Structure 1
Amino acid sequence: MTSEPHASTPEIRLKRLHERLGGIAYGGDYNPEQWPREVWQEDVRLMKEAGVNLVTLAVFSWSRLETSDGVYDFGWLDQIMDLLHTNGVGVDLATPDAVPPAWLVARHPDILPVLADGTIFGFGSRQHFDVSHPAYREKSLAMAEKMGERYAKHPALCMWHVNNEYGPVSYGPHADRAFREWLQQKYASLDQLNQAWSTDVWGQVYSDWAQVNAPAQPRTWSNPSRRLDYHRFTSDSMLEHYKAERDILRRHTPDLPIVTNFMRFYKNNDYWAWAAEEDAAALDIYPDPREEDAHVAAALNFDLMRSLRKGQPWLVMEQATAAVSQWSVNVSKLPGKMRLGSYQAIAQGADSILFFQWRQAKGGTERFHSGMVNHAGPNTRVFREVCELGRELKGLGGITGTQSAAKVAMVFDWDCWWALELGNSPRSDLSYTQEVLRLYRPFFEANIPVDFVNTASDLSQYSLVVLPASYLLSDDAAQRFEDYVAGGGRLVASYLSGIVDPDNTIRLGGYPGALRNVLGAWSEEMHPLAGDGEEVKLSTADGGTASASYWTEHLHTETADVLASYASGRLAGSPAVTRNAFGEGTAVYLSARVDSTFLEELLAAERAAAGIVPELDAPLGVQVRRRTGNGRSYLLVLNHNDAPARVDIKAGGTDLLTGNAVQGTVELAGYGVLVIEEPTESISAETAR
């Protein structure tokens, strides 16, 4: 009899991680090399007091681990790993190649990235490397090999953290070479490249591959198709490096999760491609405490992380306990906001709550970035909140591995983002992420869960699909949206959707070219409004009024019905918003940036027609999310208002934070949270719904 072959999947690896930790991962980045040895003992004592079960080590430690070329010193890391294990704290061990050491830069000065304007990004910050540089790749992979060999069997090691916030873009000679190689794999010939880049425009035709280089900043405008391909290349080249390190670590530790940390609204890397190569999506999230509605943009990022791996729980890798030093005014979070933001992440699918960092640095750039232990020490409001949150999370172990369901899908696509913001367009000040956020907000405020998808995703499970400024669409993607609507789906598309193909070439025959058939309407001309405050009036089909600003189009209907028309301005009398019956479904087109009230009412009507209802009826500012799985159901209710709010908890259950039974009308304190484990009979009812 032979045993089954060894097998491990991301889901299995994450399950084992949380079983080992006893539930939700709690802790943060730990940088013991910044502190004397006597502080280490206090650190582990305080970690136990705070309920910390996981810390991230060695993120910025290359210069301390390899003190000169080929000379390694792991002694101090061995000591801290042993100390943490003895005190019951697991380790997320990082490969430290986000910060090449000074000796490596001195030996290979061209390892430093070249910026678009030709200047060199010098030593003294971080991410100061060109990922295409052979020496950087050789030395960083050698470090991963050394760390994998040394720590694979260490009892403290729980997971791996590759690099840190991948992102540097270089336009230097090594990137040039790698870009040409990438292009030669993508295009079979120079003729194909010339055609894809429309190089006959402005006489940019290439006759030899050696003539092709990175699109560094010219005196004036440059080819947008070339720049789009450079975005794709940059993301791919960094991902290739991540995968090389991952494969080394996987060989040594096949059963441990391996991730790198993503960033909020980060443009340089296509996280759809990245997430497919990781065991979990992992996010660094720093909302600006000055913004009263910062939790809405945070929610969008949380839902995106949850969606990148098709609903699999994700990880908060970094957040702040209080002040966030990256903002121009370093405002501290109000009491209760750190706890509320943590539970918001859990409500939207996170299985970890980690911070940057454990102990606030006393020197360096981020010395005013808060920690779990701040400059004043543990006898502080912040540390008391840290300890209280740690105590609460210990009772929520059952929530790990559970997931959320959504019937609304919203497209978020890096190709669209890159292409839309290359400039030389009718509105070069347009922000793709703000367009997505504008269409996301009404769903969030109505407590309608949203999945994010890209233009290649399967749409069959969704009742409503939203395309915010989906500027670049392939023929396959356009056909996918047509098939979805024809099969009975409901589609809402905003202006600047379907304009270009994957080569960034305009689709002819009227905007929005790729979607003209399904929308049953076309625009002959774009009319962005000139001033920030300029506005035009709309009249609606039901006799109401509305307004539009920022963007309008000269729209014509073919088979679509008109929901709103321009009532003032140069387009008076022309359609502004349409709905088209197509096959068994319908498709709405917003050719103008309509006011928020009209937008909310339109989206509410579309979701109601699709049979989509909120988890609970709750006051504005109260967020409700449900996570189910493992035979359990959890309802999380969060009050983002500073004043109390009343919520009707219909099914009832037990609030895991207090142990109290909850049912009927409940008054939730300002910034308050409920984590309700619902009766098991409610699970089948929710599934049926």
Structure 2
Amino acid sequence: MTISPDARTAEERLQRMHRRLGGIAYGGDYNPEQWPCEVWLEDARLMQEAGVNLVTLAVFSWSRLETADGIYDFGWLDEVMDLMHQHGIGVDLATPDAVPPAWLIAQHPDILPELADGSAFGFGSRQHFDVSHPVYRQKALAIAGKMGEHYARHPALMMWHVGNEYGPVSYGPWADKAFRKWVQTKYSTLEELNQAWSADVWGQVYSDWSQVGAPAQPRTWSNPTRRLDYHRFTSSSMLEHFKAERDILRRHTPDVPIVTNFMRFYKNNDYWAWAAAEDAAALDIYPDPREADAHVAAALNFDLMRSLRGGQPWMVMEQATGAVSQWPVNVSKLPGKMRLGSYQAIAQGADAILFFQWRQAKGGTERYHSAMVGHSGPNTRIFREVTQLGNELKELDGLTGTRSAAKVAIVFDWDCWWALELGNSPRSDLTYAQEVLRLYRPLFDANVTVDFVDTKSDLSQYSLVLLPAAYLLTDESAQRFEDYVSDGGRLVVSYLSGIVDESNTIRLGGYPGALRKVLGAWSEEMHPLAGEGEEVKLATADGGTASASYWTEHLHTDGADVLASYDSGRLAGSPAVTRNTFGKGTAVYLSARVDNTFLESLLFAERQAAGVQPELAAPPGVQVRRRTGNGSSFLLVLNHNDAPAGIDVGRGGTDRISGRPLQGTVELPANGVLVLQESATDETSR
């Protein structure tokens, strides 16, 4: 393989890969070591039939690649790599460090992670390692180096896949030692540490660094800032290991993209930091088919992945063709839903549609997890759908590399998430992801494209920013939101925002302390509603009515206008929702969990005032997204309803799936999809 001098940035590496693949990446995890070699040729033939152009190899193959300490056997993998290349199929080659082999655990049993209660995480699953263990790191880097050297010039190599679903947390002696070192780097003195951790509370003062360790499970409650720092340490420790493998592979293959796979609503790793260290964000996504609106939470994750690298196209690294094996009841996707979900990811910026896995395992834990080729073989509904999709995607040349533009941003921040869910708070049952989803849903339903940002992001390009439960804000972040509003931005803030500083210490002087000035309002007391289904009435400034449940606050205005007041309960007469003019902009504060109808109307008014319009007017359940670039504009229309729906596509264009020219009102069948390459007139008019 000739090293291209041009492929030195993430985007250049990805563009090169997609050119070699011929467009959108399509395929999935392939585990040939689970099958006799006579099946491999049949697999390659079926992959060609299904339009597969990329498979992921060796994710769980450490024990087959290093059969004993320092004894490497790449022979079988060479055969598979060659076979894939002969059939025009590229390889996303994984480093297998997610599954340390039994012989390594037998030699070094302390590689196994230790749980918070002191018990060992035994061998027999996966992710059974403490990432801080020096021998684990040494052996993982060694096999990465061997693979990088061995396959650097193999023509099938398209991408590197480092590890798998990083995330195991350990509280054992190696993690303990690494955490102590991390803490010493973060806090230069013990006095600074004791101050940050509020160590005088419950007499937890440290007088020597040797006393500092991982927050293993105590008799009762544990210091929240110590646990917050452990979240930070765990994410950065795993990322440090990923980077070490990445750097080894990069030296061998500077023009090959390097990624790992993220997970849906995954709390342990700060994906903003992780995505910055990779060539692309890649997501494993398994919505529960039993949930009628599962596609909304999936959409949030898709937009988050697209946002993690500034709008760059991302990858679906894993999804299911039918049933998965993780829910209590594993319902298979209905006909058409797998195709619809795949196009939804593409509509929201994905340039790769991959599955776990190619051939359904006949043994092991995931034997009932669906696959592209199931237990019944290729003569099945699912394989026919897989083949239809794969061959449709071949027609979408020009789509890869295109992007979506957004004027609305929602803050999604891992520090906020970690701090909010540490417990011992007014509502320990509150979940950050659900708070974010609640503000995201009305915008999704209205077909408004949304970017996600963290608390450190530049906000200047957005007309409207939403801040859901941003519990932890640094002084710098709070100032950033003030400056954004002062310069003309519109900000919507929900309850439990700006409560604590970077050290998880309450900001005094009234909630939400960090945002009190820009909001022009403050709360003297939090009043979570205790009873299941308990709610209070609200009276709106325009004479209407609304309601609130779950959360309320005793709010006072300090210059803000009142949009809604409590009309019942202990806070009757007090403000509930306010809007403050600050500089050239405005800031809305939701001190209560208002009902959905009021929230939708409020966000509608805010985006109208901000000049934000939907991509296209559409009936309920029809999603519309636009991707532009490469001199083209694509309008993707998806019918999430189980009944036909009509939509006016205006001047229209050519549907790249069917090849038909379309304009005006078009009827989409249930679960139907359009990929409309818009006319040049429409494209240049925007």
SS at match of 1:397: coil
Within 5 Å, which residues of 2 pair with 1:407-422?
407-422=407-422
Within 5 Å, which residues of 2 pair with 1:109-188?
109-188=109-188
Deviations 1:540-570 (A, max 9, x none): 0000000000000000001000000000000
Pair 1:357 & 2:360 matched: no
Taking the aligned partners of 1:5 and 1:443, their CA distance within structure 2 comes to 43
Partner of 1:298: 298
Deviations 1:294-337 (A, max 9, x none): 00000000000000000000011000000011111010000000
Partner of 2:22: 22
Segments of 4+ moved more than 4 angstroms: 4-7
Partner of 1:397: 397
1:425 shift after superposition: 0.2
Partner of 2:654: 654
Give the counterpart letter for 2:8 in structure 1.
S
1:679 shift after superposition: 1.2
Partner of 1:683: 683
Partner of 2:569: 569
Give the counterpart letter for 1:237 in structure 2.
S
SS at match of 1:398: coil
Partner of 2:70: 70
8 Å contact from structure 2 (residues 360, 370) kept in 1: yes
Taking the aligned partners of 1:451 and 1:565, their CA distance within structure 2 comes to 31
1:680 shift after superposition: 2.0
Within 5 Å, which residues of 2 pair with 1:39-438?
39-438=39-438
SS at match of 1:11: helix
Partner of 1:555: 555
Taking the aligned partners of 1:504 and 1:473, their CA distance within structure 2 comes to 9
Within 5 Å, which residues of 2 pair with 1:578-657?
578-657=578-657
TM-score with structure 1 setting the length: 0.99
SS at match of 1:651: coil
Give the counterpart letter for 2:536 in structure 1.
V
Pair 1:33 & 2:33 matched: yes
8 Å contact from structure 2 (residues 536, 548) kept in 1: yes
1:6 shift after superposition: 6.4
1:633 shift after superposition: 0.3
Give the counterpart letter for 1:421 in structure 2.
E
SS at match of 2:124: coil
8 Å contact from structure 2 (residues 7, 16) kept in 1: no
Give the counterpart letter for 2:40 in structure 1.
W
Taking the aligned partners of 1:180 and 1:580, their CA distance within structure 2 comes to 45
Taking the aligned partners of 2:645 and 2:138, their CA distance within structure 1 comes to 57
Deviations 1:622-661 (A, max 9, x none): 0000000010000000000000001000130000010101
8 Å contact from structure 1 (residues 44, 87) kept in 2: yes
Taking the aligned partners of 1:174 and 1:216, their CA distance within structure 2 comes to 13
SS at match of 1:354: strand
Partner of 2:524: 524
SS at match of 2:80: helix
Taking the aligned partners of 1:5 and 1:347, their CA distance within structure 2 comes to 32
SS at match of 1:676: strand
Taking the aligned partners of 1:286 and 1:570, their CA distance within structure 2 comes to 43
Taking the aligned partners of 1:431 and 1:682, their CA distance within structure 2 comes to 42
When the two structures are aligned, how many residues end up with a matched partner? Answer: 684
Report percent identity of matched pairs.
81
Deviations 1:54-106 (A, max 9, x none): 00000000000001101111100000000110011100000000000000000
8 Å contact from structure 2 (residues 411, 455) kept in 1: yes
Partner of 1:664: 664
Taking the aligned partners of 1:603 and 1:324, their CA distance within structure 2 comes to 36
Taking the aligned partners of 1:443 and 1:606, their CA distance within structure 2 comes to 11
Pair 1:485 & 2:485 matched: yes
TM-score with structure 2 setting the length: 0.99
1:681 shift after superposition: 2.7
Deviations 1:27-60 (A, max 9, x none): 0000000000111011001000000000000000
8 Å contact from structure 1 (residues 349, 627) kept in 2: yes
Taking the aligned partners of 2:653 and 2:580, their CA distance within structure 1 comes to 44
8 Å contact from structure 1 (residues 641, 670) kept in 2: yes
Taking the aligned partners of 1:601 and 1:159, their CA distance within structure 2 comes to 46
Pair 1:508 & 2:508 matched: yes
Taking the aligned partners of 1:66 and 1:391, their CA distance within structure 2 comes to 37
Partner of 1:473: 473
8 Å contact from structure 2 (residues 6, 12) kept in 1: no
Taking the aligned partners of 2:612 and 2:321, their CA distance within structure 1 comes to 36
Taking the aligned partners of 2:567 and 2:54, their CA distance within structure 1 comes to 60
8 Å contact from structure 1 (residues 13, 257) kept in 2: yes
Taking the aligned partners of 1:277 and 1:127, their CA distance within structure 2 comes to 21
Seen in structure 2, the aligned counterparts of structure 1 residues 14 and 6 have a Cα distance that, compared at 3 Å, is closer
Pair 1:536 & 2:536 matched: yes
8 Å contact from structure 1 (residues 129, 136) kept in 2: yes
Taking the aligned partners of 1:80 and 1:235, their CA distance within structure 2 comes to 34
8 Å contact from structure 1 (residues 284, 316) kept in 2: yes
Taking the aligned partners of 1:6 and 1:587, their CA distance within structure 2 comes to 46
Taking the aligned partners of 1:338 and 1:99, their CA distance within structure 2 comes to 29
Taking the aligned partners of 2:168 and 2:81, their CA distance within structure 1 comes to 30
SS at match of 1:579: strand
1:5 shift after superposition: 7.2
SS at match of 2:146: helix
Structure 1, 505-514 or 674-683: larger mean CA deviation = 674-683
Give the counterpart letter for 1:189 in structure 2.
T
1:684 shift after superposition: 2.6
SS at match of 1:434: helix
SS at match of 2:137: helix
Deviations 1:192-213 (A, max 9, x none): 0000000000000000000000
1:531 shift after superposition: 1.2
1:532 shift after superposition: 1.9
Give the counterpart letter for 1:358 in structure 2.
W
8 Å contact from structure 2 (residues 472, 502) kept in 1: yes
Unmatched tracts of structure 1, length 5 or more: none
1:683 shift after superposition: 2.2
Taking the aligned partners of 1:334 and 1:398, their CA distance within structure 2 comes to 30
1:7 shift after superposition: 6.0
Deviations 1:239-298 (A, max 9, x none): 000000000000000000000000000000000000000000000000000000000000
Taking the aligned partners of 2:103 and 2:505, their CA distance within structure 1 comes to 46
8 Å contact from structure 1 (residues 631, 680) kept in 2: no
